[in-house]
């Protein structure tokens, strides 16, 4: 396809595609709860409405070499983060380096310490990961590569909607694009299969099986730990439905708001610490929780008071398999990513071999190839270099400053970095990392958002999902799989790409072969 098929559609075609995409999305659950900009919360008090998720009219061109690179490295990434999660001494050092100024990470770590003192009763751990990338080209004409934006170890979202977005674009490629006036859309589309919803659900199912039979008299279940008022609920529901669809074993799934953990769960009497869930709607039933899948608990707003922290502690010390544990959540901090990616110097020897078996040099170099420069802001050699960059009004334009937070909207970009750092005490700087901005080659597309078309330059971010189950104590990996992909696209004027936050939209990849370095 052309780099810009969407600019060539006529206004009538735009109208037609809008109708088709809107209806397909609603009919297939490519949906979210409507944002306040579309409908005020008061206008839908019973929560009966859904709206189509923002989506591109066409799949965006994406270099096949880059897509393959992301898929190929995912299982190594799963193994890497499983291994980091087991390295308590390393993570303790990470938390120390982040420092007390970050209350959230400090409190999170305290949860682990309390459980460690008492002893963990569950050694198996589930990771539903997503590694995010953008395309980078060293120079015009060179082979493009993917560079990692971040690695998510908690609440990696959009796997339920991304497989549907791929299906939408496949549908359009057979039913609509061939009839567009301009011939560009009629080329052959290389649209990779994407079964992220099924694969992520398989990871949860595998953990459910690994938990084993109930050891109380109660049937086992899976709990999705969620935020109240979640707008991206259908993304989560699709995983739940996939879990139910898997046929051979019936898995009861319950959605439990994070704020209600202490109200509706207890630990079984005795030393087993089985987590018991008492569904408020079924007062005569109790379930033993095999797996807790967290779609909440990743940021300070989920912990408004001490009782929320008690809730997290209560779950952490239970026998349920956690996705993720506190250790895995801490492994997913940007500080860990920075430590892995900080350029090597004589005083900063490579750390990767500590986690990935040294004999596996191919895996090691595949991982390294996805790193871009990330620096600490401490007083180490790299830290001092980063402080200079961050204070320089010109150099800072190529960087993003990140705190140890998840969920979007927390980063400080480019020229905003120097005044921001001046506004906080220097003693807090080490809780941030400074990362080089990745600048992907521009592509064009049209976004359908809230019924309106927005055409222009876009930036795409590829996420590759992975599922992994391992034993924290023995180090044994019990399950390790790549689990499909997400393509998120944003207007090229926007720094952040969050779909739910209203900046980005769903997309899928149209794989293109790179000829002479031109994308
Ligand atoms: P969060 O955990 O809040 O999602 P991210 O590190 O993913 O934080 O950053 C949010 C968004 O900011 C990304 O989705 C991406 O659009 C943009 N971004 C972050 N880091 C970079 C980078 N190094 N280069 C280019 N864009 C980036
Ligand atoms: Mg992100």
More confident residue, 360 or 414: 414
CB 205 within 8 A of CB 479: no
For residue 303, is it within any domain?
yes
- Are 268 and 136 in the same domain? yes
Residue 185 has what pLDDT? Answer: 65
Of 168-182, 314-328, 341-355, 493-507, where does mean pLDDT reach its minimum? 493-507
Residues in the ligand 1 pocket, defined by CB under 6 Å: 132, 134, 149-150, 400, 402, 406-408, 410-411, 435, 437-438, 461, 495-497
Q: Which ligand is nearest to the CA of 488?
A: 1
Measure 409 CA to ligand 1 centroid, in angstroms.
9
Q: Is the pTM of this model over 0.95?
A: yes
Listed in sequence order, the residues at least 6 apart from 355 whose beta carbon sits closer than 8 Å to its beta carbon are 80, 83, 84, 87
For residue 160, is it within any domain?
yes
Q: How many domains does the chain have?
A: 2
Residue 1 has pLDDT above 50, yes or no: no
Segment 9-28 mean pLDDT: 97
Give Cα 425 to chain centroid, integer Å: 31
- Are 312 and 387 in the same domain? no
**Calpha distance 399→447 (Å, rounded):** 27
- Are 144 and 62 in the same domain? yes
Segment 243-250 mean pLDDT: 82
More confident residue, 501 or 509: 509
Of 7-11, 303-307, 390-394, 479-483, where does mean pLDDT reach its minimum? 7-11
For residue 478, is it within any domain?
yes
For residue 507, is it within any domain?
yes
Listed in sequence order, the residues at least 6 apart from 318 whose beta carbon sits closer than 8 Å to its beta carbon are 121, 122, 265, 267, 273, 274, 275, 289
For residue 519, is it within any domain?
no
Ligand 1 atom closest to the Cα of residue 498 is: 14
Measure 496 CA to ligand 1 centroid, in angstroms.
6
Strands 504-507 and 477-491: antiparallel
Instruction: Name the nearest CA neighbour of 233 among 41, 31, 36.
Output: 31
- Are 378 and 357 in the same domain? no
How much of the chain is helix, strand and coil, in % rounded to 5?
40, 25, 35
Q: Which ligand is nearest to the CA of 332?
A: 1
Residue 3 has what pLDDT? Answer: 46
Element (H, E) at 98: helix 88-98
Instruction: Name the nearest CA neighbour of 18 among 514, 472, 386, 446.
Output: 446
**Calpha distance 405→415 (Å, rounded):** 20
More confident residue, 212 or 4: 212
Element (H, E) at 67: helix 64-86
Domain residues for 368? 5-372+438-512
For residue 408, is it within any domain?
yes
**Calpha distance 313→305 (Å, rounded):** 13
Among protein residues, the one whose CA lies closest to atom 17 of ligand 1: 496
Measure 155 CA to ligand 1 centroid, in angstroms.
16
Residue from 130, 131, 150 to probe ligand 1 pocket by mutation (most atoms less than 8 Å from CB): 150
- Are 140 and 76 in the same domain? yes
Give Cα 322 to chain centroid, integer Å: 17
Domain C-terminal end among 412, 437, 462 = 437
Strands 124-136 and 145-152: antiparallel
Measure 310 CA to ligand 1 centroid, in angstroms.
31
- CATH at 383: 3.30.1490.50
**Calpha distance 253→171 (Å, rounded):** 31
- Active-site amino acid positions: 130, 150, 152, 157, 334, 402, 406-407, 488
List of E strands, 191-345: 220-226, 253-257, 265-267, 275-277, 287-294, 321-323
Dihedral sign of CA atoms 103, 105, 111, 113 in order: negative
- Are 402 and 463 in the same domain? no
Residue from 133, 137, 149, 389 to probe ligand 1 pocket by mutation (most atoms less than 8 Å from CB): 149
pLDDT tens by residue, 105-147: 999 999 999 999 999 999 999 999 999 999 999 887 889 999 9
Ligand 1 atom closest to the Cα of residue 494 is: 16
Measure 154 CA to ligand 2 centroid, in angstroms.
11
**Calpha distance 376→433 (Å, rounded):** 5
Q: Which ligand is nearest to the CA of 298?
A: 1
Burial class, 347, CB count within 10 angstroms (exposed 0-12 / middle 13-18 / buried 19+): exposed
CB 329 within 8 A of CB 151: no
Dihedral sign of CA atoms 159, 160, 162, 163 in order: positive
pLDDT tens by residue, 142-192: 899 999 999 999 999 999 999 999 999 999 999 999 999 876 666 789 999
């Amino acid at each position: 396809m052309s780099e810009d098929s969407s600019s060539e559609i006529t206004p009538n075609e735009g109208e037609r595609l809008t109708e088709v995409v809107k209806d397909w999305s609603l009919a297939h659950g490519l949906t979210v709860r409507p944002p306040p900009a579309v409908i005020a919360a008061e206008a839908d008090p019973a929560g009966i409405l859904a709206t189509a998720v923002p989506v591109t009219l066409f799949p965006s061109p994406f270099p096949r070499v880059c897509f393959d690179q992301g898929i190929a490295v995912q299982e190594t990434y799963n193994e890497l983060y499983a291994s980091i999660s087991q390295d308590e001494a390393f993570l303790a050092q990470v938390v120390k380096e982040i420092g007390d100024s970050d209350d959230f990470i400090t409190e999170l770590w305290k949860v682990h310490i309390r459980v460690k003192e008492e002893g963990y009763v569950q050694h198996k751990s589930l990771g539903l990961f997503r590694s995010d990338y953008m395309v980078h080209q060293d120079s015009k004409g060179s082979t493009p590569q993917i560079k990692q934006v971040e690695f998510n170890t908690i609440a990696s979202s959009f796997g339920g909607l991304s497989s549907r977005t791929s299906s939408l674009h496949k549908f359009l490629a057979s039913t609509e694009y061939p009839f567009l006036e301009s011939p560009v859309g009629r080329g052959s589309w290389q649209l990779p299969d994407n079964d992220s919803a099924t694969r992520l659900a398989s990871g949860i199912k595998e953990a459910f099986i690994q938990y084993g039979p109930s050891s109380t008299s109660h049937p086992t279940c899976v709990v999705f730990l969620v935020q109240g008022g979640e707008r991206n609920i259908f993304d989560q529901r699709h995983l739940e439905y996939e879990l139910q669809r898997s046929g051979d074993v019936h898995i009861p799934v319950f959605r439990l708001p994070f704020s209600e953990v202490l109200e509706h769960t207890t630990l079984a009497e005795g030393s087993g610490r089985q987590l018991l869930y008492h569904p408020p709607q079924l007062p005569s039933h109790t379930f033993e929780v095999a797996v807790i899948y967290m779609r909440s608990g990743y940021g300070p707003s989920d912990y408004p008071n001490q009782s929320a922290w008690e809730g997290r502690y209560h779950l952490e010390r239970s026998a349920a398999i956690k996705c993720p544990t506190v250790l895995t959540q801490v492994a997913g901090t940007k500080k860990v990513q920075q430590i892995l990616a900080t350029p090597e110097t004589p005083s900063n020897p490579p750390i990767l071999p500590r986690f990935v078996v040294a004999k596996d040099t191919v895996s090691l170099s595949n991982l390294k190839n996805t790193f871009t420069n990330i620096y600490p802001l401490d007083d180490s050699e790299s830290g001092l270099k980063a402080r200079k960059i961050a204070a320089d009004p010109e150099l800072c334009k190529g960087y993003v400053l990140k705190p140890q937070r998840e969920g979007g909207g927390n980063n400080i970009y480019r020229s905003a970095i120097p005044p921001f750092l001046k506004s906080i005490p220097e003693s807090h700087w080490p809780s941030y990392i400074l990362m080089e901005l990745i600048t992907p080659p521009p592509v064009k597309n049209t976004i359908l958002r809230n019924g309106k078309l927005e055409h222009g330059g876009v930036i795409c971010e590829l996420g590759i999902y992975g599922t992994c189950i391992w034993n924290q104590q023995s180090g044994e990996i019990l399950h390790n799989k790549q689990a499909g992909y997400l393509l998120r696209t944003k207007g090229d004027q926007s720094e952040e790409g969050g779909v739910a936050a209203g900046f980005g939209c769903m997309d899928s990849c149209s794989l293109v072969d790179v000829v002479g370095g031109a994308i």
